[in-house]
Amino acid sequence: MKEMKYSLQLLLPHELTATIGTWVRALRQRAELTQPMLAERAGVAVSSLSRLERTGLGSTSLLCRVLFAMAESDAFAEFVKERTRLALLPGDIAQLAHPRKIRQRVRPKK
């Protein structure tokens, strides 16, 4: 059985974007799509897709369009929803007994 190794090293921003680019390229290649084919499906420029794959740089809109075109947007959305749910949990278990109310912006009446 293979021993799992865990790293406490945090990715730097450029490392994270490069990882995203590699992931997008791997998804595209697994789907047996060329960059022009995926760019057309996603409604984006080939140059934008190429930059996304090479560097991971691009807008969230670009990433979402590309993931949607490859039928990967639902899985990505589930990941983001779960991370959002975890982020909204209290940082201290004692706060569970007295949950904070989320303040809503109140506009004064005119």
49-98 per-position pLDDT tens digit? 999 999 999 999 999 999 999 999 999 999 999 999 988 887 777 666 66
Q: What is the pLDDT of residue 105?
A: 74
Contact predicate 58/51, CB 8 Å: yes
Q: How many domains does the chain have?
A: 1
Q: Which amino acid is at 69?
A: A
In a domain, residue 4? The reply is no
Q: Which domain holds residue 23?
A: 13-88
Percent pLDDT > 70 in the chain is 83
- Kindly state the average pLDDT of the residues 40-53: 98
For the entire predicted model, the pTM comes to: 0.72
Side-chain half-sphere exposure of 23, counting CA atoms within 13 A? 13
Percent pLDDT > 90 in the chain is 65
Task: Say which CATH number the domain at 67 has.
Answer: 1.10.260.40
Nearest Cα residue to 45 out of 36, 55, 56: 36
In a domain, residue 56? The reply is yes
Q: How far apart are CA 71 and CA 63, in angstroms?
A: 12
Contact predicate 53/44, CB 8 Å: no
**Is residue 97 helix, strand or coil?**
coil
In a domain, residue 8? The reply is no
